[in-house]
Amino acid sequence: MEKKELVHTIKENLTRLPLSFGYLGAVKEQEENSNYNGISYKPGTVAALQTNAEMVGYVPKPISRFIRPVAAFAAPIPTEPTHQPTTAANTTTIDPQKIFTLFACCIPVQGASRSLICDVQRQHFDFIPNALYQLLTDNRQDSLADILEQYGADNATTILEYYTFLTDAEYGFWASPDELALFPPLSLDWQAPYTVTNSIIDWDDNSHFDIKQVITQLDELGCAALQLRCYSHQPLSFFEDVLLFTKTTRIKAIDLVFPWFQGLSSMDLVTLAEQYLRINSIVVHSAPFTDYIDDINNRLTRVVFTPEKVTSEHHCGLVFADYFTLNMSVFTESHHFNSCLNRKISIDKQGQIKNCPSMTQSFGDVAITRLREVLDQPAFTSQWHITKDAIAVCKDCEFRYVCTDCRAYTQGFNDPLGKPAACQYNPYTATWETAAGEEPAAWALTANEQNA
């Protein structure tokens, strides 16, 4: 049925229909005006967004009792709060007997010189001083009155500013003492119904193992995500053959990485992605041009052309702010497992089974050894359990649960518990040792990157 026709029928008969239909007609009219064909639309959304943007400028400053000697809090301290109180909670006076409670999905993470509030629901983080971290953890059961008394009158303004910042950003709310017990913390448990969650298969001109046979084994292990990475030219039919084969497997997301070749256009790959819905991304390296197409199939599927050359497995191990991911799965998994290697099994271009193609240790030739046998070897799975909390420097870093790890290239002569060699962040000074020296001040993923 045509939508217009339906809405017309409803409108024509409004007073003969139940009242609830009357609203249906009205809402739909609004939608038509706004050219919006999906779910209900109300103009309020835009206003809410603006409020959020205004708030980003505010940086909580340290309170005197806790000021740390060094540049404890790297960002400049504003003399005046840059935001305007917006929500009802801020315009009314706070009951001093109430207790500020973080929403369970907003979790503070302490670093050596500053902390983060990680919002796993909205996939965003903000920097906070360690003093505020302490307020949100040690003092989490204290009423506002108790806290103001404890920290003294000279800190009152700053503390109230903190709470305005936190309530404006909707990181928490004011709970009565009775309510406190109703809001348990988020479980940081991580589980997955897959023996292997992700896999990398490398391929070049000299590779001769049976990819389909590997995929069949991965399917048996429940592998959800697969990256097929090629260093040398392969025709599209090579990928189509593999994609067709994955159609009846449990593999849900496929990333293709391969070099550009003469005549390959963005549209060819968009067509491919439309045909094979399991494709999550296609990255074409060594391309003579740059292109980025996303939102294919109305999903997060994307096609990327980059001039960067990926000629071997050594093109990996980068740890950079662009690679930060903040979501429930990554955040919780990083608490218990290695954020790169957990439940990963890879096949390098020679057909060697490894944790990651960049690592040196092989656990057998895929032509001879079954993947399941490798998973039984403690030397293989022990890599899965190296958390950031066990790694030098990383353990003091506020980014430890949003950052990806690398065990292939580490500092200290490839110390198994060394900091990733390519990481340029120093958590003790809160500085990036990059050319630009920049950091993601108010960092948030765009909607399209969020679930990538």
Binding residues for another protein, per CB under 8 A?
1-3, 6-7, 14-24, 27-28, 37-40, 42, 44-45, 48-49, 52, 87-88, 103-105, 121-122, 170, 173, 178-179, 181-189, 191, 193-195, 222, 247-248, 250, 328, 332, 447
Q: How many CB atoms lie within 10 A of CB 180?
A: 15
**Least CB distance to another protein at residue 419 (A):** 29
Which CB, 69 or 193, lies closer to another protein?
A: 193
238 forms bridges with which residues in the sheet?
none
Phi, psi torsion values for 202, nearest 5 degrees: -95, 150
Residue 223 or 230: the one with the smaller Cβ distance to another protein is: 223
Minimum distance from CB of 445 to another protein (Å)? 12
CA distance readout (Å), 18 to 6, 10, 39, 424, 445: 16, 10, 22, 63, 43
Smaller CB separation from another protein, 318 or 452: 452
- Give the sheet arrangement for strand 353-354, strand by strand: 291-296, 301-305, 279-285, 253-259, 225-230, 198-203, 344-347, 353-354
Structure tokens at 46: 């835009």
Please identify, using beta-carbon distances, which residue of 332 and 352 lies nearer to another protein.
332
Instruction: Provide the minimum distance between the beta carbon of 242 and another protein in the complex, in angstroms, as a whole number.
Output: 17
**Residue with Cβ nearer another protein (222 or 364):** 222
In the complex, minimum distance from the CB of residue 372 to another protein, in angstroms, rounded to a whole number: 13
| Least distance CB 155 / another protein (angstroms) | 28
Q: How far is the CB of 63 from another protein (least distance, A)?
A: 26
| Residue with smaller CB distance to another protein, 37 or 360 | 37
What does the alpha-carbon distance between residue 388 and residue 331 come to, in Å, rounded to a whole number?
Answer: 11
Q: Measured from the CB of residue 87, what is the shortest distance to another protein in angstroms? A: 6
Q: Supply the minimum distance, in Å, between the C-beta of residue 72 and another protein.
A: 30
Q: Please say which residue, 56 or 328, places its beta carbon nearer to another protein.
A: 328
Q: Which of 200, 199, 202 is nearest to 349 (CA)?
A: 202
| Closest to another protein by CB, 52 or 306 | 52
| CA 309 to each of CA 206, 264, 288, 313, 317: distance values in angstroms, whole numbers, following the listed order | 18, 16, 11, 11, 15
Looking at the Cβ atoms of 31 and 313, the one nearer to another protein is 31
Q: Write down the least CB distance from residue 369 to another protein, Å.
A: 22
Q: How far is CA 8 from CA 4, 5, 26, 51, 447, in A?
A: 6, 5, 11, 37, 34
Residue type, 192: A
